[in-house]
Amino acid sequence: MQRQPVEPLQPLDLVERAREGDRDAFGELVRIHQHGVYTLAVRLVRDRDQASDVAQDAFVRAWRAMPSFRGDAKFSTWIHRITVNTAWTHRAKQKRVRLDSLDSLVEDPESSALDPIRAGEAASAAPQIEDALMGLSDSIRAVVVLKDVYDWSHVEIADHLDISVTAAKVRLHRGRKDLRAKLAGFEDGAS
């Protein structure tokens, strides 16, 4: 007897099944979205090890919240929002840890935890812009990334980063100017 080819699951089916508690369907969603979520996490927290933790945590949070996912946004949009919230929670924790471990960083000059250039090295096919982004402070970079890469609105950015819309606009303006200056610096260095 000839077996019928298995119809590949469509993302909508996967989301619906994952909402009903189907682990296999959720696992498939994780496989599909892992790179996008990890990429966003790297851009927000810089450090790749931390980004991996953020991505994992974001998916676990998404799994817990699956029953409340109503499908009025795309799953990718929804998981990105969760990733931003998770990254910001990790950042707050990391800030506390960093204050406690400044000595160990001084003792370990090879540490890449805070090295923007290393964190951005393998980031994409556009290393200059990635490196320039990684040179911005976390709070400024997050706004620039969410607005100019992911096309979020000022209101969404303010809401997820827990800042005012005015603060989001100010940081964006400053971030764009800083970013351009850094890119100009790369060009001057190259020439």
Partner 1 sequence: MRVLCSAVSVALPSVAASGEKGPLSFHIGSCDRCRGEAASYAEMYRSLDALNDATVPAPGGLPQRVMSSLGPVAVPAPAGQRDHLVPVAAAAAIATAACGGAVLLRIYRQRAA
Q: Which residues bind partner 1 (CB under 8 A)?
A: 20-21, 23, 26-27, 30-31, 34-39, 42-43, 48, 52, 55-56, 59-60, 63-64, 66-67, 122-126, 128-130, 144, 148-151, 173, 176-177, 179-180, 183-184
**DSSP single-letter state for residue 145:** I
Nearer to partner 1, 130 or 156 (CB): 130
CB 42 within 8 A of CB 87: no
Q: How far is the CB of 104 from partner 1 (least distance, A)?
A: 23
**DSSP single-letter state for residue 67:** G
Nearer to partner 1, 48 or 160 (CB): 48
Q: How far is the CB of 177 from partner 1 (least distance, A)?
A: 6
Q: How far is the CB of 78 from partner 1 (least distance, A)?
A: 15
Q: What gap in Å lies between CA 47 and CA 112, rounded to an integer?
A: 7
Nearer to partner 1, 109 or 189 (CB): 189
Q: How far is the CB of 64 from partner 1 (least distance, A)?
A: 6
Q: How far is the CB of 107 from partner 1 (least distance, A)?
A: 26
For residue 102 the two structure tokens come to 């400044």
CB 119 within 8 A of CB 46: yes
CB 79 within 8 A of CB 58: yes
Residues 6+ apart with CB under 8 A from 187: none
Nearer to partner 1, 95 or 173 (CB): 173
Q: Which of 79, 64, 88 is nearest to 31 (CA)?
A: 79
Q: What gap in Å lies between CA 165 and CA 154, rounded to an integer?
A: 6
Nearer to partner 1, 118 or 176 (CB): 176
